[in-house]
Amino acid sequence: MRPAPLPLVGLLAGCGFGLQPTTAEGIAMMLSDSADGGFSDVDTDTDADVDDDLQPEIDSIEPNWGTTAGGTEVVLSGTFGDDATVRVGGVEADNKSVQEKRGILVFFTPEMGDEGPVSVVLESSGETATAEDKFTYYTDGTGLVGAVGRVTWVDIVGDYWVDPPVDTGFASAIVIKPAAFDWTKFYAASQDECESTKGGYAYNPLLESEDPGAGSSVTLTSGSAEIRMPWDTTYGQFADNDLSAAEFAPNSTYDISEVSFNNDEMPEFTVTAAVQTPGSFTVTTPNLHGDTVLRISQNFSLAWSGGGATDGVLLSLQLMNAAGTAVDEEVSCSLRDDGSFNLPTGSFQNWIAGRQLNIFVSRFYVAGGTIDFNNADTAIIGEYMVYGAVFTK
């Protein structure tokens, strides 16, 4: 069975119709890094006539990580002659410049078959200095996703609720080993298609993970708006399930401004323009914003307007049981943001008249920032969701 769309879980308790969704399990994460520490110099020269001032030394390596694809530009500071060369993981690197008097050597890392820590060897005048396991390779994530998540504002519309619910928002994120990932495929295999939970569709990307440790957090910032997501040990994700209007900024760009991991083997990073949020919009058909609960047939039309262009629209329809306390069948659709959609006949396998139908319409962006240490993209979806309900006929 396909996983339930994540925006529908754990956030809409208290609605008059009685829906009490459960919180989604987080996508796990796993990344590795080498521990910090001092460098060790190893003098392999046995020539007693060599001037001690020319003994090669490594003072620092910046950055001390790169991808397995190679080509990372690294600045080595230390002592060496103008004949200096560098080997990384036993493979000779390409020098960009050797500035002997300034003690700076710039080189490009070679390609490496596996990720993990390797040694950097500086050679000059027939002598070497070695920084043991002080450069870390990470699996190249070019074209793949290295962090997933969502930042969502839920605009609960209509005056027909028994107990009027309050607009809310939620955010979650996780770092993963680079993998192929597509948010829209949780809803349907392609755009303008719908899938039922009773139809057997499933999207199960292979995602590797690791616990960053209790006390870890990820912070998103957009101007004065800030979202801090502590690590949720129960569900395995960074999460804030109770966003305020001050934290969610529509039509805004968020940066991952701070990552704090309570795990020395996980690298910390920042990402510019990691999240883009849409503006508010209106569902015009059916009219979810009124004071009367409408009755609609199975092959109804959906229309929306406002908010500017986005990457797409996600639609979820929850057909409730007779008591209105649980979802009997859910249909989810991935749509183009062209303003309208006609639900295909037969989308529901068990359409029943007289039932509550919850309607969630989300307009979204996937900004796609870049994680520097592995060159993977972020896939943190920013969405503005309109949530209302009708009865079936």
Residue whose C-alpha is closest to residue 40's, from 137, 131, 148: 131
Give 150's pLDDT tier (boundaries 50, 70, 90): very high
CATH of 52-138, one of 2.30.29.30, 2.40.37.10, 2.60.40.10, 3.40.47.10: 2.60.40.10
Mean pLDDT of 141-167: 94
Give the 3-state secondary structure percentages of the chain, helix then strand then coil, rounded to 5: 5, 45, 50
> pLDDT, tens digit, for every residue of 242-275?
999 999 999 999 999 999 999 887 889 999 999 9
- Residue 15: C-alpha distances to residues 19, 164, 284, 354, 362 (Å): 6, 7, 21, 18, 18
For the chain, the structural domain boundaries read: 6-31+142-392, 52-138
Give 53's pLDDT tier (boundaries 50, 70, 90): low
C-alpha dihedral (90, 96, 98, 104), degrees to nearest 10: -80
Q: CA 12, 18, 22: angle at the middle one, nearest 5?
A: 45
Residue 224 pLDDT: 94
Give 175's pLDDT tier (boundaries 50, 70, 90): very high
Mean pLDDT of 277-295: 95
Residue 327 pLDDT: 97
- Per residue in 22-61, is it b (16+ CB within 10 Å) or e — as a string? ebbebbbbebbbbeeeebebeeeeeeeeeeeeebbbbeeb
Can you name the residues that pair with 85 across neighbouring β-strands? 123
Mean pLDDT of 179-192: 93
Give 18's pLDDT tier (boundaries 50, 70, 90): very low
- List all residues 6 or more positions away from 346 whose beta carbon is below 8 Å from its beta carbon: none
Residue 21 pLDDT: 34
